[in-house]
Amino acid sequence: MSNKNLRSDLNIEGPYDERALLARVAEGDESAFCQLFRHWHQLLAGYIFRITESRESTEEIVQDVFMKIWTIRETMTEINNFKHFLLVVSRNKAFDVMKKQLREKALRRGWEKENVPEQLVIDNEEELIMHSLIEQAIESLPPRRKEVFQLSRNERLKYKEIAARLDISQESVKTHIRLAIHSIGAFIRSHPAEFALVATTLLKIF
């Protein structure tokens, strides 16, 4: 299936039954694949954009992720948590793109590839891992808690401003923030391989 066909078939509608759709995709059903794409496109685009901060790269990565899914479609019925699978594949694709951009940026500055400081590459890759892990943790929060946390973290709103915008009490805002930080910390600690890379950065973020 081409990217053009993937975009042109987005008007296909129908009840969303993920297990049934994955089974149909595994059998090569393009309409089921397009419905799957439509359902997850916005969430993936938002997740990837927070990593790349590039709309162009985001759309390319979303397309690449779903083309990968189509390529390995026969295995779709073996996936127990499709959302987790999508986020992992998207994160890895985003890392690949970001690392490539870092190296290209260094080369444009006139450096020879073999002379790009190794520590520069390592530091940036660790930063990407940290950023991605925290974004995954935020995505796992309950909707209202995530909304409150993002208003505080991304828009830098004060508790009073968040309370007014969402029509909730300031105490509720404080509770949501406290529970969000606790949940994010627990999520990160549940990924020990990455935790060592991000632990020293968490205090700066929270």
Query: Residue 34: inside a domain, yes or no?
Result: yes
Q: Are 61 and 97 in contact (CB under 8 A)?
A: yes
Query: Residue 100: inside a domain, yes or no?
Result: no
135 C-beta neighbours (distance < 10 Å), count: 19
The pLDDT, as a whole number, for residue 119 is: 47
Give exposure, 90-100, as e/b (b: 16+ Cβ within 10 Å).
bbebbbebbee
CA atoms lying within 13 Å on the CB side of residue 177: 19
Same domain, 86 and 125: no
The pLDDT, as a whole number, for residue 203 is: 40
Rounded CA separation 22/28 (Å): 10
Owning domain of residue 168: 117-206
The pLDDT, as a whole number, for residue 192 is: 55
Tokens of 198: 């991000």
Same domain, 81 and 124: no
Q: Are 107 and 47 in contact (CB under 8 A)?
A: no
Calculate ∠ Cα 134-137-140, nearest 5°. 155
Same domain, 86 and 136: no
The pLDDT, as a whole number, for residue 14 is: 56
Query: Residue 95: inside a domain, yes or no?
Result: no
Query: Residue 102: inside a domain, yes or no?
Result: no
Same domain, 121 and 76: no
Same domain, 10 and 76: yes
Question: What are the per-10-residue average pLDDT scores of the chain (206 residues)?
Answer: 49 69 93 92 89 86 93 90 88 81 61 48 56 80 93 88 94 94 84 51 44
83 C-beta neighbours (distance < 10 Å), count: 14
Same domain, 198 and 122: yes
Among 73, 90, 107, the domain-final residue is 90
CATH number at residue 80: 1.10.1740.10
Q: Specify the number of domains making up the chain.
A: 2
Query: Residue 139: inside a domain, yes or no?
Result: yes
Same domain, 205 and 129: yes
CATH number at residue 153: 1.10.10.10
